[in-house]
Amino acid sequence: MSSVPTHDHWIRGRSVGPRDRARIPRYSPADGRLIANAAAGTAQDVKEAVTAARDAFERGPWTSLSGAERGERLGRLADLMQRNLEALARIEAEEAGKPITAARMEMGVAIGLTRYAASLAWNITGRLLTQGGPGRFGLVIREARGVAGLIVAWNYPALCLMQKLPYALAAGCAVVIKPSELTAGTTLMIARMASEVGIPDGQVNVVIGTGEVVGEALTSDSAVDMISFTGSSRVGKQVAAKCAASGKHCSLELGGKGANIIFADADIDAAVEATYLGFTYNKGEECCSSARILVERAIAPQVTEALVARCRKARIGMPLDDQTDVGPMIHAQHMARVLDYIAKAKAEGGRLITGGAQLREGDLARGCFLPPTIFDQVTPRMTVFREEIFGPVACIVGFDSVDEAIQLANDTEYGLANGVWTSKIDTALAVVARLRSGMVYVNTYFESLPQLPLGGLKASGTGHENGPEGLQEFLQTRSAFIRSRS
């Protein structure tokens, strides 16, 4: 019988056990087994990790390297992750409850982001201004912000991390990472890999624990220069307030309530498949989820019927089964929250047309499994239309015109991602221009490129990850005026 893994903190390039032997057990969301015991971090653990990061940054063994040298070591990190992709994916699948096929794909994306960030390290540029007059020069300097606190969500532990960590390291920052206490395994494995490829001890530190303790200490510490946070809009606002109080730079990737707009001239089969994926991928525990399905009324019956049929074919199962495409939700408390939203949707007049109840059959009886769930007869005032549910729950709403579709899509406090389905490029471009979201997918969903920034509008956040903009979050700009006396 295999032993249960223990997750300790990682500070100054070594494992650090919990104080008073305090640990947080992680039980499988699929069958209730104990799958990990994580150290319960304290404010003192955070202080030690921040001190380690500050020492590493001030000593400068990493920052003093050329961008090319930092990029080369990040490339080595990507290579090591590639060699260990299957091990990383298995940890991710079991701890986060995601299908192993999705975990493998996400690891591939994370590795690609690391390679892209490595390339950006070569291209950190300043600016020399030479037109100030004889002997007068201006210099614009871009340099690492310092110590960055990276707070990572539980729904994409490795992918969320690698939308932050390689960019921070490319810039020259030292980091303290707070993974979720539920899903710390891949973060710790990647931190150890960073040491193996020559990233100096203290440059990458990890403290596991709750947001109330570890997150609070990290955002409040005056020796931390910036926070990059992924999580709910509610907590993100609290993080932003704390950062503002201490003058920290803050980058927030928060919640969403995306819409998939399907016009009558769209490729219906492709739209249905991608719309299904848009609200069921990662069990709907996805901030870019397209949980509002807006359909032109002329095709609404056809799309609804096809979506329901697709949902009923969902392969719901254990995370390590290659045939699974919908795994268990993160834990029982979150499952109960999503079921409360389903009950509220019914009470407010929405019609449940598929799903809606936790599975209690056979091998799935002990897990947190919820089949894809759709409501119709929904109005924009209903909770199921307005609030982020963070589960595989969607609603279908009809529209008659482009203007009505855009008004419905924008009728939300969020602004992270939306989708548009049409065969007319003019319609697509017109809708992209008017949608109030940081990302718009056209005739696809969830596809992107490392070069494209991800960032939210309104309650969905501030700042960006990925693209050149993802690097800029970890750089600060200074200037100097120089007068030659010769």
Which DSSP string corresponds to 47-85? Answer: HHHHHHHHHHHHH-TTTTS-HHHHHHHHHHHHHHHHHTH
Distance CA 148, CA 142 (A): 16
Residue 99, amino acid: P
pLDDT beyond 70 at 185: yes
Q: What does the pLDDT look like over 468-479, one tens digit per residue?
A: 999 999 999 999
Cβ-contact 197, 73 below 8 angstroms: yes
Distance CA 77, CA 115 (A): 9
Distance CA 384, CA 345 (A): 6
Q: Which two tokens stand for residue 457?
A: 């509008």
Q: What does the pLDDT look like over 322-337, one tens digit per residue?
A: 999 999 999 999 999 9
**pLDDT in the model for residue 426:** 97
**Which 8-state DSSP code applies to residue 387?**
S
Place domain 6-254+460-480 in its CATH homologous superfamily: Aldehyde Dehydrogenase; Chain A, domain 1 (3.40.605.10)
**pLDDT in the model for residue 3:** 87
**Which 8-state DSSP code applies to residue 214?**
I
Q: Which of 92, 94, 253, 296 is catalytic?
A: 253
Give residue limits of the domains in the chain. 6-254+460-480, 259-449
Q: What does the pLDDT look like over 273-288, one tens digit per residue?
A: 999 999 999 999 999 9
**pLDDT in the model for residue 363:** 86
Cβ-contact 96, 146 below 8 angstroms: no
Q: Which two tokens stand for residue 190?
A: 């990647």
pLDDT beyond 90 at 486: no
Phi and psi at residue 194, to the nearest 5°: -60, -40
Phi and psi at residue 465, to the nearest 5°: -120, 155
120-125 mean pLDDT: 95
pLDDT beyond 80 at 187: yes
- Give 56: exposed, middle or buried? Use CB within 10 Å, 0-12, 13-18, 19+: buried
pLDDT beyond 50 at 1: no
**pLDDT in the model for residue 410:** 98
Kindly report the CATH class assigned to 259-449: alpha beta
pLDDT beyond 50 at 391: yes
Segments in 254-354 forming alpha helices (H): 268-280, 300-312, 332-347
121-145 mean pLDDT: 95
**pLDDT in the model for residue 168:** 98
Distance CA 403, CA 37 (A): 52
pLDDT band at 485 (very low <50, low <70, confident <90, very high): confident
Q: What does the pLDDT look like over 79-111, one tens digit per residue?
A: 999 999 999 999 999 999 999 999 999 999 999
Nearest to 263 by CA among 149, 120, 409, 108: 409
- Give 162: exposed, middle or buried? Use CB within 10 Å, 0-12, 13-18, 19+: buried
pLDDT beyond 70 at 294: yes
- Give 87: exposed, middle or buried? Use CB within 10 Å, 0-12, 13-18, 19+: middle
Q: What does the pLDDT look like over 246-257, one tens digit per residue?
A: 899 999 999 999
Distance CA 188, CA 447 (A): 28
Q: What is the mean pLDDT of the chain?
A: 97
287 in catalytic set: yes
**pLDDT in the model for residue 20:** 85
For tokens 């003192």, name the residue.
44
Q: What does the pLDDT look like over 416-442, one tens digit per residue?
A: 999 999 999 999 999 999 999 999 999
**pLDDT in the model for residue 2:** 61
Q: Are domains 6-254+460-480 and 259-449 of this chain identical in fold?
A: no
Query: Parallel, antiparallel, or unpaired for β 373-376 and 351-354?
Result: antiparallel
199-215 mean pLDDT: 98
Q: Which of 173, 287, 311, 395 is catalytic?
A: 287
Name the β-bridge partners of 22. Answer: none
Which strand (E) or helix (H) includes residue 252?
A: strand 249-253
CB atoms within 10 A of CB 373: 27
